Amino acid sequence: MQLSISFFSNIKEIKSDLITLFVFSNKHLFENQINKIKKFLSNNIDRVLRLEKFNGEFESSCFIYTDKNFKSPIIQLIGLGDQKNINNETFRKASAIAALNANKFKLNHISIIFPELIKGLTPKHIAKAIFEGVVLSQYKFDKFLSPNQRKTRLKKLTLIYDSLKQREELNEAKLESKIICDGIFLARDLTNMPASELYPKIFANYAKKSAKEYNYKAQIWNKEKIKKIGLNGLIAVSSGSKHPPRFIILKYDGEKSHKSNIVLIGKGITFDSGGLSLKSADNMAEMKMDMSGAAVVLATIQSVARMKIPVNLIGLIPICENMPSGSALKPGDIIKHYGGKTSEVANTDAEGRLILADALAYAHKFKPELVIDIATLTGAVISALGHHVTAILGNDQEYIKKIKQAGEQTYERVWELPLYDEYKKQIKSEVADVKNIGTRGAGVITAALFLKNFISDKNGKEYKWIHLDIAGTAIINEGSYYIQSGASGVGVRLLTEFFKTNYS
Ligand code: BES
Ligand code: MN
Ligand code: ZN
């Protein structure tokens, strides 16, 4: 979609298919706003408002057809609700509604009049929310639909402003939103792609392509190299599949004095059948999305590189397929991971932690200031938090706080669960350093505690670490606003915002 900003003081001169105006529901404000447009319209707007019972409530909208003096045929009013409850998420949602309305009319070009400023929000905040809301609402994974079954999408969005002071901020918002939305679309596409189309080698090709296009590095290890280095969890989990694994190392050097490295690790299971501990048929198809974390790492590094944020990022992506077969990993097996720690495989369906273990252990090599892993790790997180919040666990409260703030800003919210030592005995093994499943209860925590074994070096010193379990938030069955059903791309905005606010 083409994004543009345009200066206009007269609504009649705006040329598009549909002009959008945001309206507050507070009685006084509502009347003021309506009066402002009334003077332009010859037809009786009061009759339309009464007929459509429009009062500016959040989620409501109303259409006014203009006369020949206007260059745009329709004005839509979009309700924002009570001014005191408004934040940037209100604008994301209201803008998505505006765009979805335009889709109903099969329109190409929507213009949105930049709203009045809200306390606590800069013009840039508001503009970003509007761009994101519109662009993200237009995503649909329809590559495999016949052309006539595909949804019509908006081709152009123009944000109209009437104060030249806002120009710079609106333009920055436009450029950033474009980059972020491209990243999210990449993550959503990779996640939605069926496992027959997206296996480790293909994912690695996407990584290579992105790195080349946006000037960062991608190194791809094949199975032989993975074996030689000793990422044995990755070798073990991949052993039942005809698709060999890959280990992808991404490097973006944005901070030239190289003060510190931040490592991002993403779970890349291109299909999780459960392996020999086979999943039931019910929701197995969903498991094509088990590489969401990997997609987020790739899309985030791509976005940070394009925004040229001065930070040094390393992305580690262990990626493979978890399949049952004669050569598959077996319950009872013991894996010696990179770095030397061992794990007992009690259940081959708890495979994510087995490949993450190697990557976490390998991360020490970069002497990281911080390591963040992101993974569709447990069904248990859905029981705990449902589909609206990502679980966050870690060993550093300051970084957790910063990620939480980025979560509020982007509305990709996170909620902390504890890593108390008492839970450790649930994953104690008699035959290895740790067991890959826990006794009943607290599945999100025991999974994270499994990972925690691999964040300390030979002397027992841990690096700063954050774990994000996105099993509940990466895929949305019932879409709404700017996240339609399927992959959400959750994590891309969260992490990019974290880097943007704390490192630029
Ligand atoms: N990929 C799944 C987790 C998952 C479940 C993601 C539902 C998205 C939706 C993971 O590999 C898995 O199978 N976890 C098991 C762990 C169990 C065997 C300890 C689970 O959560 O059931
Ligand atoms: Mn599994
Ligand atoms: Zn999995």
SS3 per residue for 108-150: CEEEEECCCCCCCCCHHHHHHHHHHHHHHHCCCCCCCCCHHHC
Rounded distance from Cα 28 to ligand 2 centre (Å): 55
Mean pLDDT of 274-282: 97
Reduced to 3 states, what is the DSSP secondary structure of residue 237?
Answer: helix
- Of 276, 322, 345, 378, the residue with max ligand 1 atoms within 8 A of its CB, to mutate for a pocket test, comes to 378
Atom of ligand 1 nearest to the CA of 443: 19
pLDDT tens by residue, 448-485: 999 999 999 999 999 999 999 999 999 999 999 999 99
Helix intervals (H) in 23-122: 27-38, 45-51, 88-104
Mean pLDDT of 124-138: 98
Q: What b/e readout covers 130-151, taking b as 16+ CB neighbours within 10 angstroms?
A: bbbbbbbbbbbbeeeeeeeeee
Name every protein residue with a CB atom under 6 angstroms from any ligand 1 atom.
272, 290, 347, 349-352, 376, 378-380, 437, 443, 471
Distance CA 166, CA 121 (A): 13
How many residues are given for the chain?
504
pLDDT tens by residue, 134-171: 999 999 999 999 999 998 899 999 999 999 999 999 99
- State the amino acid at position 369 in one-letter form: E
Question: Considering only 33-47, 255-269, 309-323, which range has the smallest mean pLDDT?
Answer: 33-47
- Nearest 5°: phi and psi at 184? -65, -40
Q: Which ligand is nearest to the CA of 275?
A: 2
Atom of ligand 1 nearest to the CA of 438: 19
The pLDDT assigned to 54 comes to 94
The pLDDT assigned to 151 comes to 87
The closest residue, in CA terms, to atom 14 on ligand 1 is 378
Distance CA 463, CA 486 (A): 34
Rounded distance from Cα 237 to ligand 1 centre (Å): 14
Q: Which ligand is nearest to the CA of 345?
A: 1
Rounded distance from Cα 182 to ligand 3 centre (Å): 26
Rounded distance from Cα 349 to ligand 3 centre (Å): 7
Q: Which ligand is nearest to the CA of 477?
A: 1
The closest residue, in CA terms, to atom 16 on ligand 1 is 350
Rounded distance from Cα 409 to ligand 2 centre (Å): 31
Distance CA 200, CA 202 (A): 5
pLDDT tens by residue, 174-208: 999 999 999 999 999 999 999 999 999 999 999 99
pLDDT tens by residue, 13-68: 999 999 999 999 999 999 999 988 887 776 678 888 888 899 999 999 999 999 88
Token couple for 431: 């035959």
- pTM value is 0.98
The closest residue, in CA terms, to atom 22 on ligand 1 is 379
CA distances to 337, 363, 456 from 340, rounded to whole Å, are 5, 14, 12
The pLDDT assigned to 46 comes to 85
Distance CA 196, CA 144 (A): 13
Atom of ligand 1 nearest to the CA of 351: 11
The pLDDT assigned to 43 comes to 67
Residues known to be catalytic: 279, 353
Q: Which residue has the tokens 């490949």?
A: 355
Rounded distance from Cα 350 to ligand 2 centre (Å): 5
Rounded distance from Cα 327 to ligand 1 centre (Å): 22
Q: Which ligand is nearest to the CA of 381?
A: 1
| Structural domains of the chain in order of their starting residue, each with its CATH number | 2-163 (3.40.220.10), 182-503 (3.40.630.10)
